[in-house]
Amino acid sequence: MKTGKHIGSTIAITVLGFFIAFVIFFPIIWLTFSSFKPRAELFAYPLHLLPSKFNFDYYASVVNDGLFIYMKNSLFLAVVGTLITVLISASCGYALAIYRKEIPYVNKVFAVFLLGTLIPGEILTIAQFTVVTDMGLYNNIWGCILPVVTTTTGIFMYRQHYMSIPLALAESARIDGASEFMIFRKIMLPLGYSVTVTLTIFSFMWRWNDYILPLMLLSDQSKFTIQIAIKSYIGTMAVDWSSILAASVLSIVPVIILYMILQKYITGGLAATGVKG
Amino acid sequence: MKKRRKANTAFRHTGAFWLFVLPSLGLFALFFLLPLVLSIWFSFTDFDGWKKMNFIGLQNYAKILTDSSFYLSLGRTFIYTIVNLPFKVAIPLLLAALVTSKKLKGNTAVRTMIYIPVLFSSLVAGITINWMFSQEYGLVNFLLEKMGMTPLEWSLNPTLATVVISIASNWVSAGYYMLLYVGGINNISKELYEAASIDGSGKAHTFFHITVPLLLPTTFIVLLLSTVNLLKEYALIQGITLGGPGTSTTYIVQYIFSQGFDQYKYGYASAAGVLVSIVFIIIAAIQFKMTKGGGEV
Amino acid sequence: MARLKRIAAGAFAAVMAAGLTACGSGSTGAAATDASGNVTPTTSKAITGKELSVMVSEMPSDTDALGNALSTWASESGNTIKYIVVSNDDMLTKFPAMAKNKDLPDLISTTGLHQLYPEEFVKPETFIDLSQFNDAALRSVGKAYASDEITGLPDQYTVTCMYYNADAFEAAGLSVPTADDPWTWDELYENAKTLQEKGGVKYGFAADVSRARYDILMYANGGSITEKNGDTIKVAVNSPQNVETLEKFVQANNEVMPKAIWAGGTTDNPVEYFKNGDVGILLSGSWNYNTFTTDITKFNFSVMTSPKGKVSQAAIVGGGALAVPKNGKQPQLAEQFLQWLYTKDHYSAFLQLDKGPSVMKNVSYDPGNEKATADYAVIQNEVNYVTDAFLADEAAGWRQYKDNEYRDALKQAVAGEVTAQQALDGFASELAESSKWAKAY
């Protein structure tokens, strides 16, 4: 009797879960199928989900326009940017959490970083551009990376996480003679891996989707990023929808792959790390 | 001997603190605080982004503060934020409860499908949402028509246009906040749930009386982040309604762009940016105080 | 779990190592980039063996007029082409960024940079004979906003024109107006209603959301943005006849047009509606003709003469120009290409692909088939309806002060947020304030 009820609710929840997921995911299916439609079919009423035949022409043409080169550039931006972001956010968030009891001004330092989320970044673009070019980083991918690697969200996430870890853990390591850096590197960094995985996904996606700074800074076509390339299909006079759709679909593949690889570690038994707040 | 060691330790920790914080703080100072100072300076000038930069005192501020459309867009931004906040918290929380349920088979697939919209750039997200809600060739109106209903005026009715923007905004953020909640739920100890189930507490009861209160720290983060992100909503609107119909979805960052940057009035835009930032900081400070800084629970 | 922790720890070691390597290689790269940058000698002889950098808004295909001209020139002259593709909107951000970093391309295909920043471009009169160009084209596309200087050479020339769905006309029993006997705008709105009722189209009439479309209604009714009296310019955008024009347009939006387009709640393009057979008459630019011939397969379309307002017919010309940045690395190379392009043979070949009106006096386009020839004649004839008021407004250069606001004011009126009178009064005040011109009304 009890098992029957259990199976019943399992089925109900599973059906509900897939239904919700489908509703959320459906626009993407729609977008993807549309990208295979011949141009004339895109706006043809009545609408059909499936194209009359799968047409790869627009994919071929955007690849021909150099899409993979732009994806490669974005990949560099995203990978390097993410590595730096994870490292510096982890150490910063860790320090803000672990020394909060013994150093009085820690929370003031944290408040400075909070400015980073409160002020709409778009407003600072021109001033940022001035600073970056004055440093000689014009037309240099590093000019697109360095200004954006500090993320308040990342620091915040690590800070919250390390605040849930008892200070006693660090204290006992100190008694064993470990240096502050060793404590961070050997004990704390591995303990923060759940945040690391999450931040890696976030950061990769942010960098992959960066637009305005790369646009202003990069001047060689061969250094352009994927978002600049997609935008260039929106002309003032006409919008090349077919190319935009194809390029958009291709542009999301790498982030989806990364998410699929990492997402199982987000679930992976966080509760089993042995320490809790 | 023991005394000396203690003094050293205190020093060592201050040094270590600054060393850990320095990379972030240095980059932040260089690429955020310095531009911020520059922007404040721009706000007292007629800077056009390139050739002209004369000090004009408080003229920009005076002009903004007497511009009725500044207040109108600020007001619209507040309404938009307040109306959307409950959804930004409730939807991800429920989704997280769903995907962490032991009874959900294939939860990896479900999670992935829910999360994927988060990965989209605003540009691509805008295109996708347009494809669904376009008044003329959108799928939603097509389906409504198929079912014998009147197609809705998604781009003509200010309320419906706001609804589309809200759907888009939640669509691209629900998975993100869900992930934060999943982390939070996984942090709640299993024993607690076991104890609850031994006590014969029902599922709904457990959720509202154990899960939700224990997730409060996460909820504070979600609230804080989504408030700020709603106040800053811009890129998505550029891809969907362009601030229309009329000015009904023109929020404050949009105002700064259309009145400032888009016309090379960088001084004016910077001044508006400074004012808006001050408003945002006040709002966040209040929120931060109320939630005790994301909660040292 | 222990295994997972180890993996995470291992990943971090890798992360750090990779981060350091990446940092190292990055700085080397920067040095290499800085080292490049060569100076081109100035000679009047034909330059060869160089790379011409060209900024364009779309990646040119083989059938693109400019792309084809550039590659032909390159192979003939022994130079190569390097494209920088940046969308038109983004060029406004990109160009100052490039200029500040002394990184300008040799040639830009632009819709306005040369008009906005005339001092940044080489004056074409220094290297080409301007008398061979059509004057209206040169003045509307090549001239700076704020002065009389010509700073770019028109290449893609476009004029407003009225496309119509011939099948819908037939179904509704409408006959096509001719240049000798044009419709009035009132008749057009009436007929648009008929098209909606009997022609099988959803909307009788549609127009691009651009002041360069709406303004032909204004000019046709004898209105203008500015009025010039001797040397004084006054803002006239809120004149009674302009208010009336806008009121009628708002009404038309409610009755026969896809209102969402002009009310401004969508990024949709009415051109797509027309292509799809949902619009009876479309007011758009002549450059569309080319794409329509390939994209429209479901119905017959053609071009008709524009309707008459209270005073006259009206047209607006515009388009893209080729401009040579003064501080580019090799302006002479770009000049050499332009001198080559604007010769009879080469420009004829350009027009064969461009299929637009000609900007040169002695060159015209031969469409090759009967229907297209007839359509092309209608389009070319529209150029004659460019009004003096339009040219005077362009000369006044009002657009350097306020451009988007004008369209936004129109949008607010169509959306019903304000009345036509309020919208135009509001914009007139804004324009008067930033231009320091007095208001005439």
Q: What is the mean pLDDT of residues A62-89?
A: 94
Q: Tokens in use for B198?
A: 């031994």
Q: How far is B60 from chain A (nearest CA, A)?
A: 15
Q: Does B278 touch chain A (CB under 8 A)?
A: no
Mean pLDDT rounded to a whole number for chain B: 86
The one-letter amino acid at C203: Y
For residue B229, pLDDT beyond 80: yes
Q: In which band, very low, low, confident or very high, does the pLDDT at A171 lie, cut at 50, 70 and 90?
A: confident
Q: What residue numbers bound the domain in which C348 lies?
A: 51-157+319-375
Task: Say whether residue B245 is in contact with chain C using an 8 A CB cutoff.
Answer: yes
Q: What are residue C92's phi and psi, to 5 degrees?
A: -65, -30
Do B187 and A109 count as a contact with CB atoms less than 8 A apart? no
Do the domain assignments include residue C396?
Answer: no
Nearest to C260 among B49, B155, B258 (CB): B155
Question: B138: nearest CA in chain C?
Answer: C268
Considering only the beta carbons, identify the residue of C266, C276, C416 that sits closest to B155: C266
- Going by their DSSP bridges, the two strands C438-439 and C232-235 should be labelled as parallel
- Of C61 and C393, more confident: C393
Please tell me whether residues A23 and A152 are part of one structural domain.
no
B-C C-beta contacts closer than 8 Å:
79
B208 vs C170, which has greater pLDDT?
C170
Cα distances (Å, whole numbers) of residue C273 to C204, C210, C257, C276: 11, 16, 11, 5
Please, which residues 34-63 of chain C have a Cβ atom closer than 8 Å to chain A?
34, 57-59
The pLDDT value given to residue B85: 96
> Could you tell me the residue range of the domain that residue B276 belongs to?
61-290
User: Could you tell me if A243 and A160 lie in one domain?
Assistant: yes
Burial (Cβ within 10 Å: 0-12, 13-18, ≥19) of residue A14 = middle
What 3-state class would DSSP assign to C303?
Answer: strand
Gyration radius (Cα) of chain A, Å: 24
Look at residue B9 in the predicted model and tell me its pLDDT. Answer: 54
Tokens encoding C395: 């000369």
Higher per-residue confidence, C238 vs C396: C238
Mean pLDDT of B207-230: 86
Nearest CA in chain C to A79: C19
Phi-psi region of C122 (alpha: psi -120 to 50; beta: other; left: phi over 0): beta
pLDDT band (50, 70, 90) for residue C434: confident
Instruction: Tell me the CA end-to-end span of chain A in Å, nearest whole number.
Output: 39
Question: Highest mean pLDDT: which of A76-90, C363-377, C384-398?
Answer: A76-90
Contacts of C276 in chain B (CB under 8 A): 137
User: Do B156 and B227 reside in the same domain of the chain?
Assistant: yes
**In this structure, which long-range contacts are made by residues C289-293, counting pairs with CB atoms below 8 Å and at least 24 apart in sequence?**
C289/C161, C289/C163, C289/C355, C289/C356, C289/C375, C289/C379, C290/C354, C290/C355, C290/C356, C291/A238, C292/C163, C293/C372
Does B238 fall in a domain? yes
Q: What pLDDT, on the 0 to 100 scale, is given for residue B292? A: 65
Residue A171 and residue A145 in one domain:
yes
Q: What's the average model confidence in pLDDT over C429-438?
A: 89
Query: What CATH number is associated with residue A107?
Result: 1.10.3720.10
Q: For B165, which residue in chain C has the nearest alpha carbon?
A: C265
Total domains, chain B: 2
In this predicted structure, the answer to whether residue C22 has a pLDDT above a threshold of 50 is no
Residue B290 C-alpha, separation from nearest chain C C-alpha, in angstroms: 36
Q: Around Cβ B124, how many Cβ atoms within 10 Å?
A: 26
With an 8 Å Cβ cutoff, are A190 and C295 in contact?
A: no
Nearest residue in chain B measured CA to CA from C90 = B262
> Cβ contact (<8 Å) for C87 and A87?
no
Question: Could you report the per-residue pLDDT of A1-27, keeping only the tens digit for each?
Answer: 456 677 888 899 999 999 999 999 999
pLDDT at res. C13 = 40
Predicted confidence at residue B10, as pLDDT, reads 53
The strand pair at C80-85 and C153-165 is best described as unpaired
More confident residue, B57 or C145: B57
Neighbours of chain B (3+ CB pairs under 8 A): A, C
CA torsion, points C263, C269, C270, C275, in degrees to nearest 10?
-160
pLDDT of residue C12: 38
Residues A68, A174, single domain; the answer is yes
Instruction: For residue C83, report the phi and psi dihedrals to the nearest 5 degrees.
Output: -95, 145
The span from the CA of C183 to the CA of C313, in Å, is 10
Task: Please give the Cα distance from B39 to A131 (Å, whole number).
Answer: 11
Q: Pick from C120, C80, C116: which is nearest to C98 by CA?
A: C120
* Closest by Cβ to C266, choosing from B50, B241, B262: B241
**Range with the poorest average pLDDT among A39-43, A230-234, C169-173:** A39-43
| Residue C113 belongs to a domain | yes
- B87 pLDDT above the threshold of 90: yes
Query: Is it the case that residue C44 has pLDDT exceeding 70?
Result: no
Q: Which chain C residue has its CA at the smallest distance from B157's CA?
A: C265
pLDDT given for residue C25 in this prediction:
35
- pLDDT over 60 (residue A272): no
Residues of A in contact with C299 (CB under 8 A): none
A87, A125, A213, A237: best to mutate for the C interface, most C CBs within 10 A:
A237
Supply the pLDDT for residue C41: 36
Which candidate from C90, C275, C295 shows the least CB-CB separation from A231? C90
Taking residues C10-37, report their average pLDDT.
36
Q: What is the pLDDT of residues B14-41, one digit of tens each?
A: 888 999 999 999 999 999 999 999 999 9
- Residue B61 vs residues B57, B64, B251, C421: alpha-carbon distances, Å: 9, 5, 19, 29
Q: Which residues pair with C226 in a beta bridge?
A: C235
Which 3 state secondary structure label does DSSP give C283? strand
Q: Which pLDDT value is given to residue A2?
A: 53
**A117-131, C100-114, C238-252, C298-312: least confident range:** A117-131
Segments of C124-265 assigned E as strands? 153-165, 203-207, 226-229, 232-235
Tell me which residue in C99, C404, C411 faces B246 most closely, judged by beta carbons: C411
- Do strands C51-56 and C80-85 pair parallel, antiparallel, or not at all (unpaired)? parallel
For residue A251 the two structure tokens come to 């542009």
Contact A28 B116 (CB under 8 A): yes
How many separate domains does chain A show?
2
The first and second tokens of residue B239, run together, are 């891809």
Q: Does B130 touch chain C (CB under 8 A)?
A: yes
Chain C residues with beta carbon closer than 8 angstroms to that of B267: none
Residue A35 and residue A75 in one domain: no
Q: Are residues B73 and B14 both part of a single domain? A: no
What's the N-to-C CA distance of chain B in angstroms? 38
Are B159 and B283 in a shared domain?
yes
- Specify the pLDDT at position B218: 83
**Contact, A226 vs A67, CB < 8 A?**
yes
Q: Does C408 touch chain B (CB under 8 A)?
A: yes
Place of tokens 């400074």: B274
Q: Which residues contact C229 (CB under 8 A, 6 or more apart)?
A: none
Q: Are residues B135 and B240 in the same domain?
A: yes
Whichever domain contains C84, its CATH number is: 3.40.190.10
CATH assignment at residue B177: 1.10.3720.10
| Residues 6+ positions from B33 with CB-CB distance below 8 Å | A112, A115
**Look-up of token digits 């930033």:** C434
How far, in Å, CA of B88 to CA of B73, rounded?
A: 21
For B195, phi then psi, to 5°, come to -60, -45
Quick check: C26 contacting A, CB < 8 Å?
Answer: yes
Q: What residues of C are in contact with residue A228 (Cβ under 8 Å)?
A: 86, 90
Q: How far is CA B113 from the centre of its chain?
A: 21
- Give the one of A86, A139, A239 whose C-beta lies nearest to C15's C-beta: A86
DSSP C139: I
Q: Quick check: helix, strand or coil at residue B65?
A: helix
- The sheet with strand C226-229 has its strands ordered as C226-229, C232-235, C438-439
Do C107 and C55 form a contact (C-beta atoms < 8 A)? yes
pLDDT 10s digits, B102-158? 888 888 889 889 989 998 888 889 888 988 998 888 889 999 988 999 889 898 899
Q: Look at A193 and C4 and tell me if their CB atoms are within 8 Å.
A: yes
Give residue A90's pLDDT: 95
Of the partner residues B16, B114, B179, the one whose CB lies closest to the CB of residue A266? B179
Cβ distance C268 to B244 less than 8 Å, yes or no, reads: no
- My answer on whether B88 and B176 are in the same domain is yes
Question: Does A204 lie in the same domain as A180?
Answer: yes
Residue numbers of C between 256 and 315 with CB closer than 8 Å to A: 269, 271-272, 275-276, 285, 287-288, 291, 295, 297-298
Write down the pLDDT at residue A193.
Answer: 84
Same domain for A153 and A24, yes or no, is: no
- Domain-embedded: residue C427: no
What's the mean per-residue pLDDT of chain C?
85
| C351 contacts C363 by C-beta, under 8 angstroms | yes
C312 contact partners, CB below 8 Å, separation of at least 6: C219, C220, C222, C385, C387
- Inter-chain residue contact C268 with B155, CB threshold 8 Å: yes
Q: Which of the listed residues A55, A74, A90 is the one where a domain comes to its end? A: A55
Q: Distance from A103 to chain C by nearest Cα, in Å?
A: 28
Give which of B131, B7, B79 is closest to B250, Cα–Cα. Answer: B79
| Same structural domain, A138 and A205 | yes
**How many C-beta atoms lie closer than 10 Å to residue A76's C-beta?**
18
Q: Is residue B180 part of a domain?
A: yes
Q: Rounded to a whole number, what is the distance in Å from the CA of A94 to chain B's nearest CA?
A: 8
Q: Which two tokens stand for residue C350?
A: 């350009």
Query: Same domain, yes or no, for B16 and B112?
Result: no
In whole angstroms, what is the distance from residue B114 CA to residue B120 CA? 12
User: Please, what sign has the CA dihedral across residues C374, C375, C378, C379?
Assistant: negative
Q: Residues of A with CB below 8 A from C271's CB?
A: 238
**Residues contacting residue C352 through CB under 8 Å, at least 6 positions apart:** C365, C366
What are the pLDDT digits (tens) for C216-229? 999 999 999 999 88
Residue C365 lies in a domain: yes
- Nearest Cβ partner of B21 from A109, A118, A271? A109
Could you tell me if A184 and A264 lie in one domain? yes
Give the 3-state secondary structure percentages of chain B, helix then strand then coil, rounded to 5: 75, 0, 25
Cα separation, A129 vs C100, whole angstroms: 11
Count of A-C CB contacts under 8 Å? 115
Q: Give pTM, 2 decimals.
A: 0.83
In a domain, B46, yes or no: no
Domain with A175 in it? 60-273
Angle between helices B266-290 and B68-99 (to 10 degrees): 50
CB-CB neighbors (< 8 A) of B116 in chain A: 25, 28, 252, 256, 259
pLDDT reported for residue B2? 45
Number of folded domains that form chain C: 1
CA distance A83 to chain C (A): 6
pLDDT for residue B11:
56
Q: Would you say C339 and C322 are in contact if contact means Cβ atoms under 8 Å apart?
A: no
CB contact under 8 A, A221 and C275: no
Q: What are phi and psi of C53, to 5 degrees?
A: -95, 130
What is the 3-class SS of C364-433, one letter each residue?
CCCCCCHHHHHHHHHHHHHHHHECHHHHHHHHHCHHHCCCHHHHHHHHHHHHCCCCHHHHHHHHHHHHHH
Query: What percentage of residues in chain A have a pLDDT greater than 90?
Result: 37
Tokens of A188: 């704390």
Query: What is residue B267's predicted lDDT score, i.e. its pLDDT?
Result: 92
Asked if B104 lies within 8 A of A13 by C-beta distance, the reply is: yes
Determine the pLDDT at residue C353.
Answer: 87
Contact B31, A128 (CB under 8 A): yes
Closest Cα to residue C249, out of C407, C88, C74, C427?
A: C407
Tokens 């400015």, residue? Answer: A115
Instruction: Say yes or no: B125 contacts chain A, CB-CB below 8 A.
Output: no
Residue-level pLDDT at A268? 38
Identify the pLDDT of residue C404: 77
Q: What is the largest CA-CA distance in chain C?
A: 89
In terms of CA atoms, which chain B residue is nearest residue C413? B246
The partner residue sitting opposite A123, judged by closest CB among B39, B106, B190, is B39
Question: How far apart are the CA of B6 and the nearest CA of chain C, in angstroms?
Answer: 31
Per the structure block, which two tokens stand in for B287?
């929120």
Residue C83 · residue C60 · CB < 8 Å: yes
What average pLDDT is seen over chain A? 85
**B21 vs A96: CB contact, 8 Å cut-off?**
yes
pLDDT at C362: 84
Across residues B215-219, what is the average pLDDT?
85
A121/A128: higher pLDDT: A128
Interatomic CA distance for residues C154 and C141, integer angstroms:
6
Residue type at C43 in one-letter notation: T
Element (H, E) at B104: none
Shared domain for A81 and A206, answered yes or no, is yes
**Smallest Cα distance from B210 to chain A, Å:** 16
Neighbours of C344 (CB within 10 A): 11
Which residue bears the tokens 């009725």?
A: B68
Which residue stretches of C230-384 are H helix? 240-255, 259-263, 270-275, 288-295, 331-341, 344-354, 370-382
User: Which residues, in sequence order, are CB contacts of B124 under 8 Å at separation 6+?
Assistant: A230, A248, A251, A252
Residue C353 burial (C-beta neighbours within 10 Å; 0-12, 13-18, 19+) = middle
Claim to verify: residue B65 and residue B20 sit in the same structural domain: no
**Position with higher pLDDT, B174 vs B124:** B174
- Across the range C341-346, mean pLDDT stands at 94
**pLDDT tier at C89 (50, 70, 90 boundaries)?**
confident
Residue B295 lies in a domain: no
Q: What are phi and psi of C228, to 5 degrees?
A: -115, 130
Domain boundary among A55, A84, A99: A55
Q: Which residues in B lie closer than 8 A to residue C19 (C-beta atoms)?
A: none
Residue C26 has a pLDDT of 33
Q: Which residues of A touch B13 (CB under 8 A)?
A: 99, 102-103, 180
